[in-house]
Chains A and B, each alone.
Chain A
Amino acid sequence: MTAITRGAPEGPAILEARELSIGFTLRGRRLAAVRRADLSLRQGETLAIVGESGSGKSVLAKSFLGMLDKNGRVESGSIMFQGQDLARYTSEKEWLAIRGKRIAMIFQDPMTALNPLKTVGEQIREAAALHRGLDRAASRHAVLETLARVGIGESELRYRQYPHEFSGGMRQRAVIAAAVACKPEVLICDEPTTALDVTVQAQILDLIKSLQADLGMSVLFITHDLGVVASVADRVAVMYSGQVIEEGRVDEVFYDPRCPYTWALLASLPQLGVRGEDLYSIKGTPPSAFKTIVGDAFAPRNPGALKVDFEYEPPVFQVSPSHWARTWLLDPRAPAIEAPETVRRLRERMKRRESGASAASGGGGLA
């Protein structure tokens, strides 16, 4: 097993989900949206959650703010945030001490996230005034500063404008301003660039990165764009049908993935395709969240699935101190199954980069 040991000691977890299960009741049937998911967001880092639609990533993130829809609830497990278990919170009062103040969230579509009938400034101010206990003048001043900070020029004028007078990118900046106005410890970004122009995406990502550095925030980044992951995240968690199946540093997960699902996800990246060959795509569909899943949820779609994959759910195997995966392939008794060609090529690429880097710095590298 090639374990990669590199880099600084990891910081303590600021937000940690353990064995978290979230279910919804839909027309009398129970839907398991998140199944015993483990996730840890560390102080000051950016953790990306990737996974296809319906894998439960947004639900997981919403549970950190107590914003599940009415028919959904945390069924078991814990969400530890600075010594408190958010999974036990039941009243709105408890959540108000966290929501927007210590954990803030920005949403996918900036075109609809702002109230069209209120001025942008007022929408940022109402949060700032509430959480920081500022009066109207002071909070207004703070908002003007925040607007300037997120790159909205002419902030006096922009403060008085309505959302329809803002472009998409500017609206997302305003949304970010509202989210960070109270200097939260954790910022959850739910696909913040999906709805934006490609040209604006990079600007927004840069803005989030620089705000993170300024405010020392930890960022949880939900996306299905692996390109975005590579450019913003320190670590990545891969979700499949309600479960986190692999978590590690970006280089570890991208260049040394261990789960067949992660392989498949990476192999289907258009950037990794070879000219003239068909692009890889994952066959089949994810299992229904209404059904009880036995064994490895990905097994039915995995051509190389082991017999055990259909019977027992794989436990967590530690690949390195910073990298773990849920797959029977990591069990010592498992046959040696190679990652697909595309993924191996990724690994080769990294090896070359690593050897170049170690030659230059004279240390670290591959063990």
Chain B
Amino acid sequence: MGSYILKRLGQSLVTVVIVVVSVFMLLRLMPNSGYFTREDYVNMDQAARTAYLRNLGVLDNPFVQLAHFAGGLMKGDLGRSISLYPRSPVSSIIAEKAPYSLCFGLASIIISMSLGLGLGVLMARHKDGFADWMGTLYVTVVRAIPSLIWLFFIQLWISGLMGWPMIFYLDRPVSWILPTISFSLAGLGWYAIWLRRFMVDEENRDYVKFATSKGLPRTRVMRGHILRNAMVVLVQYFPQQILLTIAGSLLIESLYNIPGMGGLLVSAVRQQDNPIVQTIVLLYAVLGVLGVFLGDLLMAFVDPRIKLADCSGKGA
């Protein structure tokens, strides 16, 4: 088990390095004019431009730049923003934004998980019944209608209806409600539909028939056998979902004017702010890989058939 974990961590590290290096190198293929704002570019002469670029370090050999980035990374220095927040350290930009996305994300995970899983159980229990029908309708609506439409609807109508502010204020908790709800809706449907699906799968299995023939009441078969086994399939996705909440949501955060991580990557790419792009890619890659890894560990923990072993172990 210990050696398995080490091996997986090693593989994860390789994955992260490949992702980060590829993105890093791709960024160096961008035209140098992208590092200037329009007016700076017009106002500077060729010499000034070159001096500026040299100062940024983007004229060096890309491998030298990479070594520079790696060296800084070792010391905990992620570089400074070029154009988005000129001269600010990237780490402090992220440290300032991430908590917003993380808080909204975690709150919405708690809501969507508890309500979604509850709805899923209800749908599976009353399959083809009213609850199932309503649940399916909900999921279909949430998935089929572009989120922008219902997110707008929630922001405009519900805020008007309840008299809540239309944008986010840090010091007014009532303004936190609508974004949290908006964050939760899609996830809620996701949990419900997948749990329902896995429960329906489990329900048709022989062991459920046998458990019923032993005389267990349906509620106990549902809880102790069907739900339990269905959750095992679902549980491996939880860690990555929790970890990746840090990415926030471009749409919701810009609708409510939340200073989170949502739009950061897109604007950094657009403005060719290499240090920010590199850092975010690194961050998401690490969290993504870590999420999958934790998911596998969790899976092995809840499913006795899975043994964490190297390939030398018996194939089951």
Contacts and interface: CB of A to CB of B under 8 A. Distances in A.
A100 to B, nearest CB: 3
Contact of A112 (B205, B220, B304): B205
B202 to A, nearest CB: 9
Nearest to A175: B210
A175 B232 CA distance: 23
A98 B215 CA distance: 8
Interface stretch (B36-44, B222-230, B238-246): B222-230
A117 B304 contact: yes
B213 A131 contact: no
A106 B209 CA distance: 10
Contacts of A92: 217-218
Contacts of B171: none
Contacts of A164: 304-305, 316
Interface in A86-131: 92, 96, 98-101, 104-107, 109, 112-118, 123, 126-127, 130-131
Given A117-B229, A117-B303, A104 B214 contact: yes
B266 interface: no
Interface of chain A, main secondary structure? mixed
A116 B207 contact: yes
Interface of chain B, main secondary structure? helix
B216 A127 contact: yes
Interface residues of A, number: 31
Interface in B108-150: none
Interface string B139-177: 000000000000000000000000000000000000000
Interface size class of B (residues with CB under 8 A): 20 to 34
A310 interface: no
A162 interface: yes
Given A67-B209, A113-B207, A114-B207, A100 B214 contact: yes
A66 to B, nearest CB: 9
B206 A118 contact: no
A99 B218 CA distance: 12
Contacts of A116: 207, 229, 304-305
A106 B229 CA distance: 22
Nearest to B316: A164
A179 interface: yes
A117 B233 CA distance: 11
Contacts of A98: 215
9 contacts: A96-B217, A112-B206, A113-B209, A126-B220, A126-B224, A127-B215, A127-B216, A162-B304, A179-B214
Interface of A: 65, 67, 92, 96, 98-101, 104-107, 109, 112-118, 123, 126-127, 130-131, 162, 164, 175, 178-179, 182
Interface of B: 205-207, 209-218, 220, 224-225, 228-229, 232, 302-305, 316
Listed from nearest, the 9 A-B pairs whose CB atoms lie closest are A100-B215, A112-B206, A127-B214, A100-B214, A99-B215, A113-B210, A115-B207, A162-B304, A105-B213
